Amino acid sequence: MPSSVVLWILEEDDPELNAVVWRHLGTDAGLRRAVARGVPFGPGRTRPVRVHRVPGEEPEVPGSYVRLGLVGALREAGTMAAARSAASMVLTRDDWRTVTEADAERPLPGYTRWALSVRPDCPPALRARASTCR
């Protein structure tokens, strides 16, 4: 399923639709974690989305996130696997704001920028910066 369609569905913040789209999230631990936690995706929405009928469990929290926090884990990522794992902890609008500010302060590593930019919920400004070489 194209990521634009996934995001469009998630923006509905409908528990029934979230249960359906869950099967199409594949290995995207970040979106799976957000859906399992009831994170709202709709513009301007802040109230948690009721969660039900989500098959499977929330992905495990990466050890680098526990040790270093969000930005530290993103900065430490030296492989695509590590970057994807760290990027899976970006869940809320506040997380995206923190990541965007950290990247503006000092560019994040290439794998991290790539892992973030392919997430359908990546803010357009961060995605544009991630596509530039620095």
Q: Rounded to two decimals, what is the model's pTM?
A: 0.77
* Residue that is last in its domain, among 30, 59, 88: 59
- The number of folded domains in the chain is 2
Q: Please indicate, yes or no, whether residues 70 and 41 belong to a single structural domain of this protein.
A: no
Are the CB atoms for 131 and 117 separated by under 8 Å? yes
* pLDDT at residue 55, rounded to an integer: 67
Structural domain for 11, as ranges: 1-59
Q: Please indicate, yes or no, whether residues 55 and 89 belong to a single structural domain of this protein.
A: no
* pLDDT at residue 78, rounded to an integer: 94
* pLDDT at residue 134, rounded to an integer: 52
Q: Please indicate, yes or no, whether residues 54 and 77 belong to a single structural domain of this protein.
A: no
Mean pLDDT by 10 residues, the chain (134 residues): 86 92 83 89 90 74 92 96 93 93 95 93 89 62
Q: Please indicate, yes or no, whether residues 85 and 53 belong to a single structural domain of this protein.
A: no
* Residue that is last in its domain, among 37, 59, 81: 59
